[in-house]
A and B are shown apart, each in its own frame.
Chain A
């Protein structure tokens, strides 16, 4: 799980961060305005491609994507990671 957390955090930093923003595992991504609802689609696509899973739209809610830790919780369902 630690590996997923680091990979997702790095991806968020690389793709969505504006200069001056800082994020950690609990930083609100969606409600914090770092990732908007449109960009969330590309984040979902990254997770699906990287971990060869399919995340149903019903599970890909702004709440479930609101931090790296929450995303990792969601990913547990699909990857079986502990």
Chain B
């Protein structure tokens, strides 16, 4: 098929899946097996070498009406400058460098700089509290953190517990207060630009990015990705997101999470596409204005944001010229059918749901451009991806359509995680019968479309972010008034799920609304706003098994109005 302006990049899905080979991506990226591959170089120097140095790479807007634009050549030089600075500090290949910033330009440019010098980028969500930060920096033995003045106080609180952390780099130091131990100022604006930098010749299996994800038990796990993941991220950006050279792209995800790096930095920049970033809080009016102002053509967002826009109503949409929008996609949680129908009504085009995980590194199942959208479905696997649903008892693929099973993927695509950082045992547990188990459940209809059903564990998916009940329960126990805690997902109209905590208080404390608020704020600051229970229910006791284990399942069933099931192991019936 000859591509035209109206034909999607993927062309015919049916044709693409026949005899698919990832070498198509390698060829387009001019990568030779066994040769060097560095994501940072592909996102900057290569684009400039292709003659796009003067093209805009980043259009950024922040608080207080601040705006800044960077060409690909600007990004190339700025990333050289940061990489040179890091090297000067003694950061070496494969050292972990944490990026702990709001969505400011230094985050995006710093990310590619870390990759260019061969270190491992460890992006962390800037709303994380000190406890969330501590477990992730401790586990990764992070050597440097690049951050902002406003977040330094969180690192100061924990740095004595982090002997490996040698440098805290502050990108907006204003000189008003003295820097403290291990802190160093760096300003992209005043640093001497570095025109030329020897990019580290990383190889396919060289580690690139370490993203942390939460599970049901234990502390967050560091998902290790490698530079070869680019092969997946490049092609999925082209075929699933349909990114084109003349697109103005907006990915609303924060690079503290995997979407924000795979498709908020790597995808658009390895293709030489102009991307926009808006670093302000959510408001329908502000978002629509941003699309209108920059004539955004491709918009990759999340169901929670889409549902919030729905809530804001149709009138605010009509106030703006959004005719530039060409293609819409969504990720993070299942996109409900109503949201797809609504987007068709107000934007004249549907949001295309996509399914993947931190561990998969790139889109696995998606509604492809040009294919029929069944609202509420995730559609079909990306070419080269073998996806199925497994019987939860036998771990064999379910042959008949419509039966719910565990979503499983055949390992082997380029962006598959390589391990959990220092936790090979947890990594191995993700595989059964040669399948990678996603931990999600779905059914497949007779046309081969996947329909998401829910998680297969207790992990809470709130606004597309996974929250570990274990982590919140542990933090709750650190509050002086809390004796016991259990944390479950509670259904929520906008966020799909939110955190709900059940708490018993220690003698001498009284359950009250003020105590509830105090505990909520305690968790918000310690972990993050996402992990903060939106509701706390005080109870004289929590349901336990006879062996003393809290029966989270029972509490969850109650929240979801489900059958409680087998309670034969319950301690008592109270």
Contact = CB atoms under 8 A, between A and B. Distances in A.
Interface of A: 15, 18-21, 28-39, 41-42, 45-46, 48-49, 61-63, 66
A32 B280 contact: yes
Contacts of B517: 42, 45-46, 49
Given A33-B281, A42-B521, A62-B308, 16 more contacts: A19-B150, A19-B152, A19-B153, A20-B148, A30-B283, A31-B281, A33-B279, A37-B282, A38-B463, A38-B534, A39-B529, A42-B517, A42-B532, A49-B513, A62-B281, A62-B283
20 contacts: A18-B150, A20-B149, A30-B282, A31-B280, A31-B282, A32-B280, A32-B281, A34-B281, A36-B282, A37-B463, A37-B494, A38-B529, A38-B530, A38-B532, A39-B532, A41-B520, A42-B521, A42-B524, A45-B517, A48-B513
B516 A45 contact: yes
Contacts of A31: 280-283, 286
Interface in B528-542: 529-530, 532, 534
Size bin of chain B's contact surface: 35 or more
A45 B286 contact: no
B127 interface: yes
Contacts of A66: 283
B102 interface: yes
Contacts of B150: 18-21
Contacts of B532: 38-39, 41-42
B374 interface: no
A15 B520 CA distance: 11
- The SS class assigned to the B binding surface is helix
B514 interface: yes
A66 B524 CA distance: 19
A65 to B, nearest CB: 10
A28 B286 CA distance: 12
B63 interface: yes
A46 B532 CA distance: 14
Given A18-B151, A45-B517, A49-B517, A35 B281 contact: yes
A28 B64 CA distance: 9
B149 A32 contact: no
Nearest to B287: A31
B308 A37 contact: yes
A48 to B, nearest CB: 8
A22 to B, nearest CB: 11
A46 B530 CA distance: 18
Interface string B116-132: 00000000000100000
B532 to A, nearest CB: 6
Interface in B87-110: 102
Nearest to A52: B513
Contacts of B148: 20
Nearest to B148: A20
Contacts of B529: 36, 38-39
Contacts, number: 80
Interface of B: 63-64, 102, 127, 148-153, 279-283, 285-286, 308, 311-312, 462-463, 494, 498, 513-514, 516-517, 520-521, 524, 529-530, 532, 534
A38 B10 CA distance: 38
Contacts of B463: 37-38
Contacts of B285: 63
A9 B520 CA distance: 19
Contacts of A38: 462-463, 498, 524, 529-530, 532, 534
A46 B521 CA distance: 10
A28 B149 CA distance: 20
A32 B308 contact: no
Nearest to A41: B534
Contacts of A36: 127, 281-282, 529
Contact of B280 (A33, A37, A39): A33
A35 B529 CA distance: 9
Nearest to B536: A45
Nearest to B283: A31
A19 B149 contact: yes
A30 B102 CA distance: 15
Nearest to B127: A36
Contacts of B64: 32
A66 to B, nearest CB: 7
A57 to B, nearest CB: 9
Contacts of A21: 150
B319 to A, nearest CB: 14
A54 B149 CA distance: 37
A59 to B, nearest CB: 12
Contacts of A63: 283, 285
Contacts of B524: 38-39, 42
Contacts of A29: 281
Give the interface centre of B281, B282, B463 by most chain A CB atoms within 10 Å: B281
Given A20-B150, A39-B532, A15 B281 contact: no
A41 B498 CA distance: 11
A62 B150 CA distance: 23
A42 to B, nearest CB: 5
Nearest to B102: A33
Nearest to B150: A18
A52 B517 CA distance: 14
Contacts of A20: 148-150
A29 to B, nearest CB: 8
Contacts of A28: 280-281
Contacts of B280: 28, 31-33
B250 to A, nearest CB: 17
A32 B63 contact: yes
A21 B534 CA distance: 25
A53 B117 CA distance: 56
